[in-house]
């Protein structure tokens, strides 16, 4: 045991010394690298260092020409110093970025590409190990690209396919990621020819259509119309072009042709129309609508007091409250509410899904509205309906009975008919002769026949009324007798036997008043034990314990053996 302990201590000291020398070696190596790095940089005084910093700031601001490398190329002044400065072991005397470029080229890398469709040998008979389908030696039947023959070349020994040229290239980093590697630029000539043929066909068609129109119209303008048809495809003048006579006093607006993928063309103005007044010139008042020159926006109306019919610009906020902006706002609100209710919908993540759900929601909402409206009309009718009631209903029977004499005068039935209710009327319960609520006294409803205020009571008639009046008279007499008493009897202190111990004498009694005070003190003491913040600083101890204090302690004490102790507060 002692020997193993000595071996453990020796191994521990060896590992500690190894770690110490390793850290020392690392610190010496980093110091050597720092010295060599600073040795290549000449020493600069404080003034030279300040001038160098000022020159770098001027180059970044564009006030001084950029620094050039040995090849005469300008170096971007915004490149960080740790990128532009060369390592010490390169011994760079001039600023350069060659250390950031790959100056070593691997001879194994190539930029060539596969020779597609090239054949190297054409065999006349089937060879062992060749493709059983076509007979070529460069692949097997599983990877054959020819159609599967009914009888393969292995069995027929006919129509042997030539061997393909198989090449293997080792591309560099750029070659593996070059999208256009192996692309033949001469194949793009066919694309140009196809588009030129389409343009020629369009010009020919436009000429024919224009000539057909001119043959039916005025013959004097035939030459001008033909020229216009020839130049139509080149100019592509927009139909909304302003008349040239109105632009004589303005600068010429340059146009460029815009061609989309669908083949439609049109002119796009690279400048605004000169006769359009700028937003900030509509109202030169300082307190007018604010104009933001950075975004060229004026959100408020610059002329709020002008006639709306004469204004052509109402502010940028007008666009948010009109058109499809409101629909887009409702779509966003619906997506938010649907997401809060648990649906997996997000306007930015899946806009198409959100729009489809919103359309379905509107359809279902309109359908539910129409169903609710039809149900209400079917049940209660439509008083606003313009259709007249049928004659059978207007002159139909009613519950009103009218009696006439021989002269046609109304004898009975002239009074207004009592409206019928859907509730039961004149229904008496428990031998009562009046309904519940026919009598009111002292904020209570009751029956008028027996003057009782209990809903399910049995009617007692006049006997019950007399008994209730006699009880009231007796109660009033007792109240008067009590008020007539001149002196109240002296209160007798109530005593109660103690129950806080088995060894208490039987003749011991407690004062109820002192016991109540003791219970309050015990409650206060327990609250202070639970919350130390309510404990007072100046505590005065009282060693005198009365019989009432002992009884209060026993009553408030929690007995753990009591099964109901968990339900006590």
Q: Which tens digits make up the pLDDT trace of 109-130?
A: 777 888 888 999 999 999 999 9
- Which segments of 116-164 does DSSP mark as H helices, in order? 153-156
Mean pLDDT across 371-386: 83
Those residues whose C-beta lies under 8 Å from the C-beta of residue 565, and which sit 6 or more positions away, are 558, 559
How far from each other are the two terminal CA atoms of the chain, in whole angstroms?
A: 63
Q: Which pTM was predicted?
A: 0.24
pLDDT of residue 483: 83
**Is the pLDDT higher at 359 or at 9?**
359
Mean pLDDT across 415-441: 79
CA gap 258, 266 in Å, rounded = 6
- Taking CA atoms, 422 is separated from 84, 419, 425, 544, in Å, by 97, 10, 9, 78
Joined together, the tokens standing for residue 281 give: 């010139």
Mean pLDDT, the chain, as a whole number? 78
Give the confidence band of 36 by pLDDT, cuts at 50, 70, 90: low
pLDDT of residue 137: 94
H-helix or E-strand spanning residue 273: none
Check whether 26 has a pLDDT greater than 80.
no
CA gap 114, 182 in Å, rounded = 7
Tens-place pLDDT, residues 492-511 = 555 555 554 445 556 677 88
pLDDT of residue 441: 85
pLDDT of residue 260: 45
Tens-place pLDDT, residues 291-343 = 888 888 888 888 888 888 888 888 888 887 778 888 888 999 999 999 988 88
pLDDT of residue 220: 55
Check whether 196 has a pLDDT greater than 80.
yes
Instruction: Please tell me which of 140-154, 294-308, 382-396 the model is most confident about, judged by mean pLDDT.
Output: 140-154
Mean pLDDT across 449-477: 87
pLDDT of residue 489: 55
| Site of tokens 């001469």 | 186
Give the confidence band of 143 by pLDDT, cuts at 50, 70, 90: very high
**Is the pLDDT higher at 182 or at 135?**
135
Check whether 41 has a pLDDT greater than 70.
no
pLDDT of residue 528: 79
Q: How many CA atoms lie within 13 A of 34 on its CB side?
A: 6
Percent above pLDDT 70 for the chain? 72
| Site of tokens 């068609």 | 205
Check whether 556 has a pLDDT greater than 70.
yes
Joined together, the tokens standing for residue 63 give: 């006030």
pLDDT of residue 223: 52
Closest CA to 235 of 262, 261, 265: 265
pLDDT of residue 104: 67
Check whether 261 has a pLDDT greater than 50.
no
Instruction: Please tell me which of 71-80, 94-103, 388-397 the model is most confident about, judged by mean pLDDT.
Output: 71-80
**Is the pLDDT higher at 73 or at 383?**
73
Give the confidence band of 19 by pLDDT, cuts at 50, 70, 90: confident
SS3 string of 282-337? CCCCCCCCCCECCCCECCCCCCCCCCCCCCCCCCCHHHHCCCHHHHHHHHHHHHHH
């Amino acid at each position: 045991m002692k020997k193993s302990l000595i071996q453990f201590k020796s191994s521990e000291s060896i590992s500690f010394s190894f770690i110490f020398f390793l850290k020392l070696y690392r610190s010496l190596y980093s110091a050597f690298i720092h010295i060599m790095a600073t040795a290549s940089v000449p020493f600069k005084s404080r003034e030279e260092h300040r001038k160098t910093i000022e020159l770098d700031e001027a180059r970044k601001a564009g006030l001084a020409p950029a620094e050039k490398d040995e090849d005469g190329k300008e170096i971007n002044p915004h490149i960080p110093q740790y990128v532009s400065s060369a390592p010490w072991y390169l011994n760079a005397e001039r600023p350069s970025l060659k250390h950031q470029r790959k100056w070593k080229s691997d001879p194994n890398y190539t930029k060539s590409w596969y020779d597609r469709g090239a054949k190297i040998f054409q065999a006349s008979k089937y060879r062992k190990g060749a493709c059983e389908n076509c007979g070529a030696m460069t692949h097997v039947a599983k990877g054959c690209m020819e159609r599967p023959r009914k009888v393969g070349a292995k069995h027929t020994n006919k129509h042997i396919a030539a061997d393909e040229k198989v090449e293997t290239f080792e591309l560099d980093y750029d070659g593996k990621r070059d999208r256009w590697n192996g692309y033949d630029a001469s194949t793009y000539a066919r694309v140009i020819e196809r588009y030129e043929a389409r343009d020629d066909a369009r010009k020919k068609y436009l000429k024919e259509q224009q000539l057909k129109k001119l043959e039916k119209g005025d013959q004097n303008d035939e030459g001008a119309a033909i020229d216009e048809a020839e130049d139509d495809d080149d100019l592509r003048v927009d139909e909304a072009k302003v008349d040239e006579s109105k632009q004589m006093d303005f600068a010429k607006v340059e146009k460029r042709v815009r061609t989309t993928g669908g083949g439609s063309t049109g002119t796009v103005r690279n400048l605004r129309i000169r006769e359009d007044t700028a937003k900030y010139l509509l109202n030169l008042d300082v307190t007018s609508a604010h104009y933001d020159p950075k975004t060229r926006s004026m959100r408020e109306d610059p002329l709020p007091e002008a006639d709306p019919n004469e204004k052509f610009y109402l502010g940028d906020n007008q666009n948010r409250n009109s058109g499809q902006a409101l629909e887009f706002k409702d779509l966003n609100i619906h997506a938010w509410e649907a997401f809060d209710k648990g649906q997996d919908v997000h306007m930015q993540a899946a806009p198409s899904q959100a729009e489809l759900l919103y359309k379905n929601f509107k359809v279902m909402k309109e359908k539910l509205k129409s169903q609710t409206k039809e149900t209400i009309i079917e049940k209660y009718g439509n008083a606003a309906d313009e259709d007249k009631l049928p004659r059978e209903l207007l002159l139909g029977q009613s519950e009103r009975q009218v009696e006439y004499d021989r002269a046609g005068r109304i004898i009975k039935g002239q009074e207004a008919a009592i409206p019928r209710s859907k509730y039961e009327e004149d229904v008496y319960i428990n031998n009562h002769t009046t309904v519940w609520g026919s009598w009111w006294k002292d904020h209570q409803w009751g029956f008028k026949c027996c003057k009782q205020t209990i809903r399910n009571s049995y009617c007692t008639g006049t006997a019950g009324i007399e008994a209730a009046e006699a009880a009231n008279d007796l109660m009033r007499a007792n109240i008067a007798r009590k008020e007539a008493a001149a002196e109240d009897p002296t209160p007798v202190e109530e005593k109660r036997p103690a129950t806080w111990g088995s060894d208490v004498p039987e003749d011991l009694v407690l004062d109820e008043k002192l016991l109540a005070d003791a219970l309050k003190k015990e409650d206060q003491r327990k609250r202070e034990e639970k919350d130390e913040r309510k404990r007072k600083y100046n505590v005065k101890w009282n060693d005198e314990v009365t019989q009432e204090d002992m009884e209060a302690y026993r009553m408030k004490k929690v007995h753990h053996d009591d099964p109901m102790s968990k339900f006590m507060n």
